[in-house]
Each structure stands twice: as structure tokens, then as C-alpha cells.
Structure 1
Amino acid sequence: MLNAIHSFLLYLSSIDRSDETITGYSKDLLYFNRYLENKYNGEAYVDEITSEDIEEYLFYLKETKGYAPASRQRNLHTLRSFFSYCYKKELVLRNVALSVERIKLQQKERNYLSEEEVKLLISAIDHSLIRLVVQVLYMTGLRISECVNLTIDDVDFNRRVIHVVSGKGNKDRLIPISKRLYPLLLEYREHHRPETGSLLFFCTKKTGMLSPVYVNAGIAEAVRKLGWRKKVTAHVLRHSFASQLVKNQVSLVQIQKLLGHSSLNVTGIYTHTDMDQLSNAVDSL
């Protein structure tokens, strides 16, 4: 089993899967292997694993470890990918994970802020750099990791685009800089960005970088100041960006490209409907 896992991870690297993806798969598979070793009191062999082993493992994750449905479904996805690789390499006779039923997930609408709430949040942030990053997140839909890893060259003022290099899934994409955002970024670059040897666009003089934890801490402080009970993070601003575009009747295909989603099914979760929209809908009859 361990040899098969090692080969699988090398394969993922050879097809340019992101480091984050490979790390996630590695953790899932090594944890599954440890479970099997404890269950059978010895080494696990990939060609001896059954669908019952996988079903019992998923039950263990639920009852003993308290994993949420989404986490258990992620583990099943990992195992399906792993056994698909093993089948192609003739390490097993069939993909035993395919016969295991998918975990039913409750579809939840993503938490997001209205445009007015975003304005209130921005006004409540005292730290100028965090305030700018929050504006960037809301006006571009960038993931926080993508935002803090932008280099000076990634922000193209001549073409007015942000170049996201190796985003989630190792995909690059271009995001236009809006008319509202352009002067904010230019003002920061010309007058407020500290002189440092760092190549990162958003940086502090002390460290030459800006961490996602630091940004989220600044957002959390502003939320406390506003007296809000809802949880707001940098990722909520990405949801807010997408939700606002949907509200403005931008097509899902365009939103998909801006967010860097591989599937329209993922983008579709942002088609929120609030009570005002529902009221207008019934009033139209």
C-alpha cells in the first residue's frame, strides 16, 4: 500500500497537480493506510483492500473522528482517484472505491455580504493595507492565497489586468482591474508600498509579505467593532464578489472564468436569492 501511495503521488506531480492537492491526497491516503494497519494488525496490501474496508473507514471517520459529510466525501474522492490509478497500473483488478456510495451533502448557500455591508466593513478597518486587500478581494474575487502571493509583475497597470499564476488546480487566469480598483492600486504602488527587496505586490516593510492569517485577523477585528454576529473571512469576500455579479445578471460562464472554477456546477452555488428578490418575483404575477 505504501509503495502504491508513493507511486501515485509521483504521478500527480508528473501531471503538474498543485502542491496543495498532492499534500491533501497524501494525508488522506496515509491516514487510510494507518487505519488499515491498525485494523489488520500489519501491513496493508493494495490488492487486498475491499469496498467493505472503505465503507467501514468512512463510518469510522463519521462516528469516531466526527468528520463532516464534506470531509468524508473528500476522502472517498481521494480513494477513487487512487484506486483508478492502481487499476490503470494493473496493481488491482478493479477500482473497489467505485462501488462505495457517495456521501450525501446538504447544499448550503454560501455566506456573503451585500454591497452596503462590504462598505461598512471597509470603513471599519483601521489598517490601510488590510483595507486595500479587502477591497481587492471584493472587486476581483481572488482567493486570499492568490492575492497575497501576487508579485509586482502580476499586476499589469498597462493592460489593466491581474495575472493569477498557478491558482487552484495549477491554472493561470487574467482578471481585469475595474475602474474603481485601478486608482486604489496605483495610489498604493506609487505612494504607500514600502521600499523593500520583496517581489510581492502587497507587503510590509518588516517582513516583505502579508499573511492570510494577518488579513483575516484584521477583518475579524472590524467585524467585532461593527457588532456583527456573522462570521466574515477573506473567502466570504470572494463569495460576495460572485454573488454581486450574479445579482447584476452577469452570466455564470463569465463568473466561472473570473473565479477560476473548473466547472459551472461549482459556480452555480452563488445563485443566491434574497427575500427582496423573491418578493419582486411574486409581485410580478
Structure 2
Amino acid sequence: MATLHTTQYNDRVVLTLFSAGGEIIQLPTRWIARLSSQIGLTYSSNTVLQYAKNLKYLVDWLEATDRDEVVGLDDLLCLLNRVDIEDWLTSQISSGLARSTVRNREVVLREFLKWLSSRGDPDASGIYQRVYPTDKLIVKAPHKRVPKYVSVEEVTLLLRGYLNECERCFAHTLYDTGLRVSEGINLRLDDLPDPRLFPDGLKYLPLYVRGAKGRAGRAKERVAIISRPLLSRIRRYHSSPEYRFADRWLSSDPSKPVFLSATGLPLNYANVYKQLKCAAKRSELNPGKYSPHKLRHGAGYSILRSELGNDYTEKLVLLQESFGHQSISTTEIYTSIPAPLLSRLNTQSDVSDKYEEAKQIYKETFLPHHEHDEERGHYTRA
């Protein structure tokens, strides 16, 4: 199999693709180097790394197929035709990969072939037109999956499976605000609204979100909404000893993360994902049916069935803005839900109060500090 080698050179990373025999595969390595030179301008470092991995998968397949060993991998890449690519894509799907994953790999391949054709190299002349005469991808776009609905009862049961308040508070935030996990992790104290600056009767306050899903690693900033009950819960969590006396930050440091682990360290996605799966298992829920992103979907439905907005269209616009969807077409996937549920969401008699919902979840799932028992650096219920 091919090897993707990473070398730290001054302040940047150099990626080199080697064949199974230890030879540098020149064309993919040059293309990757070209992408690397645009990190921070057009691409993020993670994007470039993923592109490199996707090309490695193609090279692995070429090395595994019967071929003339005299012909190098660079030459084979220049000789690719549409049948070859169709065979590779079919093998990827047959291996059990999701069509969306295979399509993403093909997108990278198409960009690589465009670059090959633009170099003026006679060996690669016309390769892009050979493979993509109509410029369309071979793997069809998968049908958009309907976001998973999650009820207040499920959220309450799930939160009870967490063993400490910091984890419960973070999960509740994902459900209340619809933040992505990365956005929740990136929240800082100065992002939270100061309730003293708003009228007492205001149920929801603006939440500044440092988005993490933008081009070239640049964050897309937006304003979401946060309910007062959740904000009260976060403030209460911040008064706990494990948060107040966490190393690295002063308690009033505006750059301090809003959420820390039970050991006072910054959160990461792997940590959040594992916590949720364990919480679901403790609550006797099917861990395979729950993920941090499902809580975001739950927040979407919570807005659609709430008192916010005068009609369904206004709710969708609010959902688009608070979720940071660039296009309303992305938000409209929430309309692809079963007709009985959709009709209920449009019935005023079934409208729920999102504020009362947040208040109920807070009341039924808050875990005071004296009910925590530290064991090996993690908190478990006494």
C-alpha cells in the first residue's frame, strides 16, 4: 500500500505520497504541495490532508490491480480513462463505503485530473475530457437524509445518563441552541450574553457563535438564540469548583472556554462523542441511534414546533439564521418529515413553549456538585 508521509518544515507541513516500493509518486505529491501553498487562503490544513488521503486510496487501488510493473504509478495516473475510474468507484462502494463518501473521493479525483490537464504535459493531454466529457460526476448525489427527530423526553433521559453537570450542560446546550459540536467547544465566556443588559421578560437572548465550518479554516460568525433557563444553568455550572478553579485560566478570563471536561481540560469532539454514547447506554437507549449532531437536529425541530415565528415560513427563516445555513434550501430539509408530524408542527394547538421546555430539562436533569464523586480524574455519581 502507498504511504502518506508528513514532514514538519519550519511552520508548515509537507505531505509526500510514496508507493509501496518506497518511491515518491510525483504528480499527486506536486498537486498536494500546490494545495498546501494555499492553506489559509483557499484551503484549511485539514482539507488538504483529506484530499491527500483520498488520492492515496486511488493509488492503493492501482497498486492492488494487475498492472505492468515497468509502468510507474505516475504514468498510470496519466493513462486513466473513464472505465478505470468507474471500476475504482464501484470497488469503493462494494467495500461497504457510503455513496456520499465515495462521491466526496471522486470530487477530489476530478480536481486532480483538472490540474493534470492544465499542466500542458503531453502524457496527460485530454485526461480530464476522457474521464469527464460532460463535467458531471459518475457517482450520483445521494438522497438527502431526513434529520433525526428527538423528543424532549429522549433528551431528558439521555442527559440523566451523564455522570457530571459539565457534560449534561454541554449536551443541553447543543439541544437548546442547535450549535455544532465544534461551535460549542469554541464558545468563550465573552460570547455569552449578559442577561442584565436585556429586559427581564425576554425569554431568549442572542448568542455570539464563532462558527468553525468555513472555507480555508476561516470561521463563519453568526448569532444564535439561547434560552434564559439554559443560560442560568451555564452560570450555575460556572460557579462549581471544577470550573472556577480549573488550571490555565482565571475564573474571569473572557477567553476561557464556556465548557470544560470534568478534569478542567478543554473539550474535543472525541471526548464529547464518547460521553454521549456512554450516557445513552446508561440510560438504556440505543447508542447507535444517538450522536451529538442529532441533538442539533432536535434543536431544529424544537424551533419548528415552538411559539417562535408567526407561521412555518418564519420558523424556517429563524432556523436558517440561527443554524448558520448559507442557503434556505439546506434548512428546507427539515420539511422532509412525515406528513403527520409536519401537520402537527403547523397546528397552533400543538405549539410548544421552547422556554418552558428548556426550563423543564434544566429542572429534571441538573446534577449538583455534591452528587459528584471524583474517581481517576473523572466524576461519577455517588
TM bin (shorter chain):
0.7 to 0.9
Amino acid at match of 2:99: P
Q: Which of residues 195, 201, 208 in structure 1 aligns to 2:265?
A: 208
Alignment of 1:56 onto 2:87: yes
Q: By how many angstroms is 1:272 displaced?
A: 4.6
5+ residue gaps, structure 1, are none
> Alignment partner for residue 100 of structure 2, among 52, 60, 70?
70
Aligned-pair distance for 1:8?
A: 4.4
Letter in 2 for 1:126: L
**Higher strand proportion:** 2
Partner of 2:379: none
RMSD, matched Cα: 3.2
After superposition, the Cα gap between the structure-2 partners of 1:144 and 1:10, relative to the gap in structure 1 and judged at 3 Å, is same
Aligned CA distance change for structure 1 residues 143 and 89 (closer, same or farther; 3 Å): farther
- C-alpha distance after superposition, 1:2-56 (max 9, x if no partner): 2443244225525342333222222111221332344444222454332222211
SS in 2 for 1:176: strand
How is 1:34-113 mapped onto 2 (pairs within 5 angstroms)? 34-39=60-65, 40=67, 41=69, 42-45=72-75, 46-63=77-94, 65-87=95-117, 93=126, 94=128, 96-97=131-132, 98-113=135-150
In 2: Cα distance, 1:54 partner to 1:264 partner: 34
Query: How do 1:143-162 residues align onto structure 2 when only pairs under 5 Å count?
Result: 143-157=180-194, 160-162=206-208
Equivalent position of 2:279 in the other structure: 222
Q: Does 1:240 align with 2:270?
A: no
Deviations 1:116-144 (A, max 9, x none): 32233234433111100011101121121
- How far residue 238 of structure 1 moved from its aligned partner, in angstroms, is 0.9
SS of the aligned residue for 1:180 comes to helix
User: Which is higher, the Rg of structure 1 or of structure 2?
Assistant: 2
Moved more, 22-31 or 245-254: 245-254
- Give the number of equivalent residue pairs: 281
Same amino acid, percent of matched pairs: 23
1:172 corresponding residue in structure 2: 220
- Alpha-carbon distance, 1:280 to partner: 5.8
Distance 1:103 1:36 in 2: 23
* AA partner of residue 61 (structure 1): Q
Report the alpha carbon displacement of residue 240 of structure 1 after superposing the two structures with TM: 0.8
The structural deviation recorded for 1:58 is 0.2
> Which stretch shows the higher mean deviation, 133-142 or 119-128?
119-128
**Cα distance between partner residues in 2 of 1:90 and 1:115:** 60
**1:130–1:52 distance in 2 versus 1, CA, 3 Å:** same
Structure 1 residue 224 displacement after superposition: 2.6
- Larger deviation, residues 133-142 vs 6-15: 6-15
TM-score by length of 2: 0.63
Partner secondary structure for residue 208 of structure 2: strand
